[in-house]
A and B are shown apart, each in its own frame.
Chain A
Amino acid sequence: MAGGSRGECQPVNNFRGCFETMIAVEQNEARYLAIYSEAEKVLAGSGQAWLARIRREAIESFGELGFPTTRNEEWKYTSVVPIAGTVFEPARYELTPQVVEAIKRSPLAHLGCVRLTFVNGHYSGELSDLRQLPGDLKAPNLAAALETGEAKVEEHLARYADYRKHPFVALNTALMQDGASLVIPRGKVLERPICFLYVSRAGSRPAISHPRNLVLVGRESQVSIIEIHLGLEDGTYFTNAVTEVVAEEGAIVEYHKIQQEGPRAFHIGTLAFQQDRSSSISAHTVSLGAALDREDTVAVLAGEGAECHLNGLYVLSGEQHADHHTVIDHAHPHCSSRELYKGVLDGRSRGVFNGKIIVRKGAQKTDSKQTNKNLLLSEDATVDTKPQLEIYADDVKCTHGATIGQIDPEAIFYLRSRGIGKNEARNLLTYAFANDVIGKIRYEPLRTRLGDALFAQLAQGQETEGK
């Protein structure tokens, strides 16, 4: 496993460059504070006192924390200098024929779900499709919910994604403008998934958006959500997304987060799950795009008998970097968690997996299993994988395992000896490896399209390698 950090300044080699980077990062930190002061009065829901208080706390927290460096254990393998050192303009809504056309061409944008569409972080009524949404369900965008001051939103927003510790969550919380806000009442089973589609189009200058989603799933209700981030062009932009999901007693939630940003985009995403007694959440996080991707997934099992499945997949090539940090917090007895993260790494890409499992005192009969498997397709790709178990109860079952390997040459030969070509054999075996995760997705259209996207990406990776 490789250590060190790519992109972080190296004073030994380049003192001046390092110094300039530090100055740029500090200036940008100050810039965000200034942007907040200016925008405070015009941000979504600025009339709500409770929200203004949260936003102020969040920006103060960001001011104190600053951008993380690789000296911070949580960010040890992921340098955010490319983000911290870039000046981003707030992303603006635009509905051009090119945007409409690009969405039309994206297979992942058409899954036959109820769809809330956001362009550069702003809700687009024109591009959304709420026709299949049950009539008694409110699914407005968050900006609208903040303006009207929904009680449920006030009760839950910013309670689970911790803006006191995570600088990017702090920035999102201070500056969030829009996103999905979904409140599902008690005993409601939604047959059709709901899709939060975020499309980003890079402008002439790098732009930043802070998508913010809040999903409240009432007692014994059931829902499937698909959050998708699509890049429409290959310019530089930054998506800093935060999603909070609350599953009340007995609720069943399937959550999918699909990241296919543009090749020069940055994506930092946080998923915070709060689970009541006997609730069940299955999350599927798939990273396909972006130059730099960091995903923090935190599940708090805050009631007896709650169940949590975290599945993840990162498929990287070229110079891509993806870092998946997960925390499963077993706070009550008789909860179970299953975690399977897989990585496919080609080119000079780098993957990071850090899986923390906390079993609190009194969380007896916890049953937890964590697996991280990585497939390296090139000599230059690297992976850092780290399980982190903190167990304070004595009657628990916790297992973890991590592997890093290459494609089995015996398997390649076996396939070739039956007439299957070398490249096809390699792709087939890679696909089979990754499909372990995609195969767990229950919604067939998403499963199929992700499979196709994966195949396309593998074939493309091979083409660029051949050049």
Chain B
Amino acid sequence: MLEIKNLHARVGNKEILHGIDLKVNKGEVHAIMGPNGSGKSTLAQVLAGRDVYAVTEGEVIYEGQNLLEMSPEDRARAGVFMAFQYPVEIPGVSNTYFLKAALNAIRKQRGEEELDAMDFLALVREKVKLLEMDESLMNRPVNEGFSGGEKKRNEIFQMAVLEPKLAILDETDSGLDIDALRIVANGVNALRSPERAAIVVTHYQRLLNYIVPDFVHVLSDGRIVKSGGKELALELEQKGYAWLEEAVASASR
């Protein structure tokens, strides 16, 4: 589904990703872990199409297409979804209006008809329940005045409505209490299927108790330094990242 080859990216004059290789097949969940500043979020945002990052080398193939040449909206319409680490507040635009516009743009791309108000409402109700959200949030402006937890839940709620093929979660777990974490994980797990894939970017192992990954990759200084199964996450949790960074440093000496 997704193949990242030798990806280099920079912001300004500073290179952050120094050659990432990663292959994600349908049905798989990949966790990307690593210390702060290792480039985890940069990778997620480059995949979503944020233009503050310039790709200087390498390529990303998504379902046979050159992902890096696609606009952010075309990526979304092709089924890529990133849950933001810091969701943006949009005063004056209601959640409902925003989500309806987004869903219909994506449906149009898929050759499906636009949802009418009734069907849309039914879909929203179902997903609101899944995320255990307060329905009144739907009529409020997007993320405005939402608590940190509500914002994260709103991201997963949007994901549940838009049903992407490839979901990228950028530190969705940070700042969530255990109840919210469980709810968010439920939302993600509900979307797991042999046809879909997910990349879960996280600093902590905790989330992976709820969203059990097929693969775990450790990112350090813009490179994937170790890959393994879900047990790698547990190992990192016990030993910390320092252990790994030292091992990498001594290996490269």
A411 to B90 Cα, complex, angstroms? 7
Contact between chains at A415 and B98 (CB < 8 Å): yes
Q: Is B178 an interface residue (CB 8 A)?
A: no
User: Is B158 a contact partner of A418 (Cβ separation < 8 A)?
Assistant: yes
Nearest CB on B from A459, distance (A): 15
Contact (A418, B93) CB under 8 Å given A408-B88, A413-B72: no
User: A424–B88 contact, CB under 8 A?
Assistant: no
Q: List 7 A-B contacts (CB under 8 A).
A: A411-B90, A413-B50, A414-B87, A417-B49, A419-B73, A419-B76, A419-B103
Task: Indicate if A188 sits at the interface (CB-CB under 8 A).
Answer: no
A303 to B148, CA, bound (A): 47
Which residues of B are found within 8 Å of A433, using beta-carbon distances? Answer: 92
Known: A413-B50, A416-B72. A421 touches B87 (CB 8 A): no
A432 within 8 A of B: yes
Report how far A424 CA is from B77 CA in the complex, Å.
15
Whether, in the assembled complex, B201 has its beta carbon less than 8 Å from a beta carbon of chain A, the answer is: no
State A77–B233 Cα separation when bound (angstroms): 64
How many positions in chain A have a CB within 8 Å of any CB in the partner chain? Answer: 22
Give the chain A neighbours of B101 by CB distance below 8 A. 420, 424, 428
Which residues of A404-455 are within 8 A (CB) of B?
Answer: 408, 410-411, 413-422, 424-425, 428-429, 431-433, 435-436
Partner of B88, one of A410, A428, A435: A410
Establish whether residues A414 and B88, one from each chain, have CB atoms under 8 Å apart when the complex forms.
yes
Q: Which residue of B lies closest to A410 (CB)?
A: B88
- Which of B33-80 touch A at CB < 8 Å? 48-51, 71-73, 75-77
CB distance from B67 to the nearest CB of A (A): 13
B102 close to A (CB within 8 Å): yes
Binding site for A on B (CB under 8 A): 48-51, 71-73, 75-77, 81-82, 84, 87-93, 98-99, 101-103, 105-106, 109, 141, 158, 162
Pairwise interchain contact A419-B92, C-beta atoms closer than 8 A: no
Contact, CB under 8 Å: A411 / B105: no
- B73: A residues at CB distance < 8 A: 416-417, 419-422, 425
Q: In the bound complex, do residue A432 and residue B72 qualify as a contact, i.e. CB atoms below 8 Å apart?
A: no
Q: State whether B90 touches A416 (Cβ < 8 A).
A: no
Contact in complex: A417, B76 (CB < 8 Å) = yes
Additional A-B contact list (6), CB under 8 Å, known A417-B48, A432-B91: A408-B88, A416-B71, A419-B103, A419-B105, A420-B98, A429-B90
Q: CB-CB < 8 A to A411: which residues of B?
A: 88-90
A418 contact set on B, CB distance < 8 A: 76, 81, 98-99, 102, 105, 158, 162
Most buried by A among B71, B90, B102, B109: B90
Chain A proximity of B219: nearest CB distance (Å): 22
* Whole-angstrom CA separation of A431 from B92 in the bound complex: 8
B191 to chain A, nearest CB (A): 16
**Nearest B residue (CB) for A416:** B72
Q: How far is the CB of B98 from chain A (nearest CB, A)?
A: 7
Interface hub of A408, A413, A431 (most chain B Cβ within 10 A): A413
B88 to chain A: closest residue by CB: A414
A432-B76 contact, Cβ under 8 Å, with A414-B87, A419-B102, A420-B101: no
Distance of A415 Cα from B90 Cα, bound (Å):
9
Query: Which residue in chain B gives the minimum CB-CB distance to A414?
Result: B88
Q: Are B90 and A432 in contact (CB under 8 A)?
A: yes
* Chain B, residue nearest A424 (CB): B101
* CB of A99 to closest CB in B, whole Å: 37
Q: How long is the Cα–Cα vector from A420 to B90 in the complex, in angstroms? A: 14
A139 and B76 CA atoms in complex are apart in Å by 57
Known contacts A419-B77, A422-B71; is A414 also within 8 Å of B84 by CB? yes
Pair B88/A420 contact, Cβ less than 8 Å: no
How many whole Å from A175's CB to the nearest CB in chain B? Answer: 43
Q: Shortest beta-carbon distance, A342 to chain B, in Å? A: 11
B residues within 8 A CB of A435?
Answer: 92
Q: Would B88 and A432 count as touching, CB distance under 8 A?
A: no
Q: A419-B73, A421-B73 are in contact. Are A432 and B162 (CB under 8 A)?
A: no
A413, A415, A432: which contacts B92 (Cβ < 8 A)?
Answer: A432
CA distance A191 to B41 in the complex (A): 57
- Asked whether, in the complex, the Cβ of A417 is within 8 Å of the Cβ of B72, the reply is yes
Complex Cα–Cα for A432 and B88 (A): 15
